[in-house]
Structure 1
């Protein structure tokens, strides 16, 4: 819920709502293959590691880049291999690798490995990753890095597996787990399927990398005694017992994901997996990738059930509305829609009360007048700046919803624009942009709406919710000045639980 920049640098690049593959097991593919085997070393005290072997049926020319791995994603470090922890061979023997650092195609600082000579036959790469050691005082970042939890490990594939640099080529990927150095009760799970047997998927590098995994002595939902989930192929995993009711939380996620899938017209039937991590540093939060997300808890005091459920619904919503623009404006839309629709769909599905809609946090933020760009650039230095796109995006979209309902006499809403944009994104990722959003605003509300969109991004003047922005049963009240704070309140005589009040 707090990872503005992290999401812009991951899920947008992965085209989460538009580029996800079909979660099946392709056979007899004509695509070049990339097969990965991961071997966790979990039975050696204080020496936990994760060994990987990558077999690529791909030819590389002399001096061509063999592999690339981001050094960090936002401020979360990857495995950061060196020539001592990553080696490669082909049919002729060991390959001499030329290591260099630069900027990857995803704009992240990255490490590259080139081959000194042309390769012959399949290329085998072996690497060894260690879990990140955490300073308890470090600022919580996106949950991409590799962590030890309990008797196991978890993290993102993005932080773990180096791949060839061509992020447009398609491959047949497989991932299998070797659990010979793991506890007898060890299990393994990945966004696209459970191990240890190989899971195969076709797609680009994003299909493989923008995913989460966990391995070790792991608890799962649904368990043997749990009822069948509403959502097909939905699971939750954790390596350490959290201080909250996991079964209740898993059931909440299942109910919300199922309802949201219907709203977003998601008929893909793809899996959906949730991973729970204990944070050694103080703080909570979540990070979404393709068809999965990880959320972290620190202690019982920072993890109330209400806060947790709002966090989880926000991360789930990231599965659908998005823009491919990796910039401040794209972040305002992706985080704003995640805030707006997580609250709105929870409300419609009777999973939260109307009282949950509060605005104080945005207006009391001392960075409330930052531009979108400044808030984006300061996101990993200042936690309060990181929150600006969430609140500003929520209020802006609520106002657009009010304008749409007003000009259509209630027959259309923000849903009209957002679902139309999602259809465009599903048809063509190149059109899934800020320009595409502005075109729809102009189409439905006129050029004035486009100008307002740009004005909101400057942070001046302070954005205010429109009088009917939460529907006919509410009014907007300024509850404080210096700084100004606005809230939605029930109109006198209105029953918030009535059908006419819910929009």
Structure 2
């Protein structure tokens, strides 16, 4: 309406973050972090900020209370640090920092996150930790950034200072390096990034871009070109009209078979140093990209993992095969790997509630959602086809669910 005065924007807590990588002998060894927290309430009764001590089986930064310095308008702010003990099956263990007195005004927090050499062994888990090689670093904010998780939403501004870093690049699954958004604090965590000496292949007319650190054991240009085609197939099938940017990030790891972690807007691939043929790698890439479109179920992520992982396993073979991007022999081999792993698992008859409780104990339960979910959706697809005389399939059900989610229709 002409002449109307807009209502003032709601004031939310602010989190301003400055990140400075520190280089020694050509490698990024640490990241210095300075945060300014404005508009937050805090005192001895609840934590001011928290950070994961463990995400699934991936360790977060092992900060001590002395290594994280807090100050407000009244001077140094004494803090108590604690690490919770989550129930079995919960993927997150949190490290929290609680003021020992009421805070006064904005709070400044300073600390240093350590970078692990990329080929250092660790347990199998998502690629959230900070790892570096050849002057580049990759990871996610999940493993090291302190956030006020008690606030429903915050205004976040995050900026990298790359002045002293050779290469000086910053790329992420949220787009560029700097990050400005009004979000729930937990949403910041799932952003993957690469900084420093970063290599890339970009196409101006495509939402799909790719960057990496180190030297992949495959032809990056060929693999990126195929992945871009697969992403286009997924985008068309899942009827994604938004066409938002999607970023593939890659870093090396000691594991012989590739792994990684998916996020909304991209994924971090850990390319293994062992032999993995191109077909298996391409199918695995597609699995990660499916997550971008289908997401996960709400609620307990361990108990509900069969849905997102199962659909990713199902469509990683169906859609590339349908479009001629992979050969049927390659698909048959991949299906054989999944079915053999499922039926030979000691947990093949274990109820899923128990699988969820065991999932992050470091055993067989971690992979059950993938294979059991795949077989569930394969069976469901066959039942729908048989019942409808071939007129419908799992595709119809999944697309209808996605449309309801996009329109916010209650299921």
Distance 1:330 1:162, change over 3 A: same
Q: Which has the higher contact order (CA 8 A, sep 6+)?
A: 1
Query: Is the CA contact 2:129–2:139 (under 8 Å) kept in the aligned structure 1?
Result: yes
Query: Is the CA contact 1:29–1:172 (under 8 Å) kept in the aligned structure 2?
Result: no
Distance 1:173 1:412, change over 3 A: same
In the alignment, the residues of structure 2 paired with residue 324 and residue 290 of structure 1 have an alpha-carbon distance, to the nearest angstrom, of 15
Distance 1:104 1:36, change over 3 A: farther
**Structure 2 counterpart SS, 1:61:** coil
Distance 1:236 1:306, change over 3 A: same
Alignment partner, residue 464 of structure 1: none
Alignment partner, residue 5 of structure 2: none
Alignment partner, residue 62 of structure 2: 80
Residue 275 (1) aligns with residue 249 (2): yes
Q: How many residues align?
A: 394
Query: Is the CA contact 1:260–1:345 (under 8 Å) kept in the aligned structure 2?
Result: yes
Structure 2 residue aligned with 1:117, among 76, 97, 101?
101
Using structure 2 for the length normalisation, give the TM-score.
0.87
Distance 1:314 1:235, change over 3 A: same
Alignment partner, residue 497 of structure 1: none
Residue 228 (1) aligns with residue 208 (2): no
**Structure 2 counterpart SS, 1:258:** helix
Shift of 1:243: 1.3
Alignment partner, residue 418 of structure 1: 398
**Structure 1 counterpart SS, 2:145:** coil
Query: Is the CA contact 1:40–1:50 (under 8 Å) kept in the aligned structure 2?
Result: yes
Alignment partner, residue 360 of structure 1: 336
Structure 2 residue aligned with 1:216, among 172, 190, 196?
196
In the alignment, the residues of structure 1 paired with residue 268 and residue 26 of structure 2 have an alpha-carbon distance, to the nearest angstrom, of 26
**Structure 1 counterpart SS, 2:66:** coil
Residue 92 (1) aligns with residue 74 (2): yes
Structure 2 residue runs of 5 or longer lacking an equivalent are: 1-8
What is the 5 A alignment of 1:16-95?
30-44=11-25, 48-63=29-44, 64-95=46-77
**Structure 1 counterpart SS, 2:239:** coil
Aligned Cα root-mean-square deviation (Å)? 2.7
Structure 1 residue runs of 5 or longer lacking an equivalent are: 1-27, 437-503
Q: Per-residue displacement from partner, 1:5-28 (whole Å, max 9, x unpaired)?
A: xxxxxxxxxxxxxxxxxxxxxxx8
In the alignment, the residues of structure 2 paired with residue 112 and residue 139 of structure 1 have an alpha-carbon distance, to the nearest angstrom, of 24
Residue 177 (1) aligns with residue 160 (2): yes
**Structure 1 counterpart SS, 2:110:** strand
In the alignment, the residues of structure 2 paired with residue 276 and residue 396 of structure 1 have an alpha-carbon distance, to the nearest angstrom, of 31
Alignment partner, residue 251 of structure 1: 225
What is the 5 A alignment of 1:330-479?
330-355=304-329, 356-358=331-333, 359-365=335-341, 366-367=344-345, 368-380=348-360, 384-428=364-408
Query: Is the CA contact 2:28–2:135 (under 8 Å) kept in the aligned structure 1?
Result: no
Shift of 1:75: 0.7
**Structure 1 counterpart SS, 2:307:** helix
Q: Per-residue displacement from partner, 1:296-349 (whole Å, max 9, x unpaired)?
A: 1232x4332111111110011011222123255511121110011121111222
Query: Is the CA contact 2:27–2:133 (under 8 Å) kept in the aligned structure 1?
Result: no
Q: Per-residue displacement from partner, 1:122-168 (whole Å, max 9, x unpaired)?
A: 2221120002367856443221111112202111111121111226x
Residue 304 (1) aligns with residue 287 (2): no
Distance 1:142 1:61, change over 3 A: closer
Alignment partner, residue 13 of structure 1: none
Distance 1:362 1:154, change over 3 A: closer
In the alignment, the residues of structure 2 paired with residue 326 and residue 80 of structure 1 have an alpha-carbon distance, to the nearest angstrom, of 26
Shift of 1:395: 2.2
Distance 1:80 1:208, change over 3 A: same
Query: Is the CA contact 2:261–2:269 (under 8 Å) kept in the aligned structure 1?
Result: yes
What is the 5 A alignment of 1:474-489?
none
What is the 5 A alignment of 1:285-304?
285-299=259-273, 301-304=274-277
Shift of 1:46: 6.9
In the alignment, the residues of structure 1 paired with residue 158 and residue 70 of structure 2 have an alpha-carbon distance, to the nearest angstrom, of 18
Query: Is the CA contact 1:42–1:216 (under 8 Å) kept in the aligned structure 2?
Result: no
Alignment partner, residue 3 of structure 2: none
Distance 1:116 1:177, change over 3 A: same
Shift of 1:283: 4.4
Alignment partner, residue 160 of structure 1: 144
